[in-house]
Amino acid sequence: MGFNPQSDMANVAVIGGGAAGLLAGIGAARAGAQTVVYERMPEPGRKIAIAGGGRCNFSNTLSQGEFVRRFGDKNASKLGHALRAFSSDDLIALLARQGVEGQVEHGFRLFTKSGRGSDVARALARELEAAGGLLVCEARISAVKRAPAGFVLEGQFEGHEEQRQARMVVICTGGLSYPATGSTGDGYAWARVLGHTLTPLRAALVGLATNEEWPRELPGLAWPDAEVALRAPAEKRRQGAALQKERGEILFTHFGISGPAILDLSNVFVASGLALAQLDVDFFPEVPAEELDRQLLARLKQFPNRMLANALEGFRQVPARLLERWQKALGPPGSVPLRHFSKGARFKLRGLMKLTTLTITGTRGVEHGEVTAGGVAWEEIDPATLESRLCAGLYFAGEMLDVAGRCGGFNLQAAFSTGFLAGRSAGRRAK
């Protein structure tokens, strides 16, 4: 007879069928353990499917050392054992075995060649089945309790209130972001009940709110290549040094500003603990100010009878709405035909293009972050196995851990790697 999770004690129960949970199930099953993965949604991997705008930036091609160095979190070094247990090469091979190819974009980022993140989720579910693991969806677990022989899981399984038993448990329930995908943070409460300390939970890779109104008047306007610098307020700043600089796409929104470059800066803002910060935006980082001024002067002389926004139409591919914003920001000097446009107004315009300053007042809510920062304190986890130091047989992976990285496939690879290590460790211990 086969393994029946309703009546039989599982060697390993994995709670959560996302990136970390599916790999935990694969790792445990490959170790020879009777493994069941419980997922609360009708199908696994919903957050994987929507990652990267639905195209899924599932990893990157950086070496392990460079991956850790560029990860962007003080706890990134804790990932070393997990990355060795399941590397990006291992992930690429697994997906290829299931017919999913990747392609490199933006230098080192790996996206699905098909453009469908759902392909990755389905491939991992097939690999779990091939390894001998069992996937149970629509399992809404409400409590995880210690028992003499291991753990008892209480909740609703396929529509019925039941208890399930397991010798080892891996909690991979995700963070607080994107709750519609099934990631509602239940695992944090279970970790507390089982004796663990949580570091503060907060949004990561999240849009930033601005004090200024004008960004909210340009919702959906994207600029493909800006350099953005995050600075402490002037009264707290040391010698004008930036807390962090990033270069990439920015996006104006109904709440302020977002886009890949801003999402990376958001982690630094959140970690700083500042209530307010200054954001400096250079729209033309590749063009020296003097060269930009020369180009502006040539364009303005070309159309002396036009207003500024009309004269600059098509200038370096600046969107019309942004040109209108700059014209408005100049005040009265910007509302005259260009034959009357002063040198001082031109210098001010150049300044807006090279240094627009915004006041950051906070982030969007944690539910809007791509990942959740904070989690189970590392002092209470063995990084070599991801087993709890306080509760034998309990393991954590993915966003349950206190580590949150930048854009570029870092967080998904961390979830895959920590999930596999936790599952393999649990499987080996169970055997």
pLDDT for 98: 97
SS3 state of residue 141: strand
Q: What would the pLDDT profile of 175-203 be if each residue is shown by its tens digit?
A: 998 888 878 889 999 999 999 999 999 99
* Phi, psi dihedrals of residue 219, rounded to the nearest 5°: -60, 135
Q: What would the pLDDT profile of 321-367 be if each residue is shown by its tens digit?
A: 999 999 999 999 999 999 999 999 999 999 999 999 999 999 998 88
CB 191 within 8 A of CB 376: yes
Give one DSSP letter per residue of 66-104, joined into a string.
Answer: HHHHHS-STTGGGGHHHHHHS-HHHHHHHHHHTT--EEE
At residue 1 the predicted structure's pLDDT band, cuts being 50, 70 and 90, is very low
What is the rounded CA–CA span in Å between residue 204 and residue 411?
Answer: 11
Mean pLDDT score, 401-418: 97
pLDDT for 238: 62
Residue 90 identity (one-letter amino acid): D
Q: What would the pLDDT profile of 361-377 be if each residue is shown by its tens digit?
A: 999 988 899 999 999 99
Is 251 a residue whose pLDDT tops 60?
yes
pLDDT for 12: 98
Query: Counting Cβ atoms within 10 Å, is residue 112 exposed (0-12), middle (13-18) or buried (19+)?
Result: buried
Is 19 a residue whose pLDDT tops 90?
yes
CB 170 within 8 A of CB 21: yes
CB 262 within 8 A of CB 206: no
Joined together, the tokens standing for residue 22 give: 């599916």
* List of domains in the chain: 10-203+371-430 (3.50.50.60), 207-364 (no CATH)
At residue 240 the predicted structure's pLDDT band, cuts being 50, 70 and 90, is low
Query: Counting Cβ atoms within 10 Å, is residue 413 exposed (0-12), middle (13-18) or buried (19+)?
Result: buried
Predicted TM-score of the model (pTM): 0.93
Q: In 99-204, where does DSSP find H-type helix?
A: 117-131, 186-193
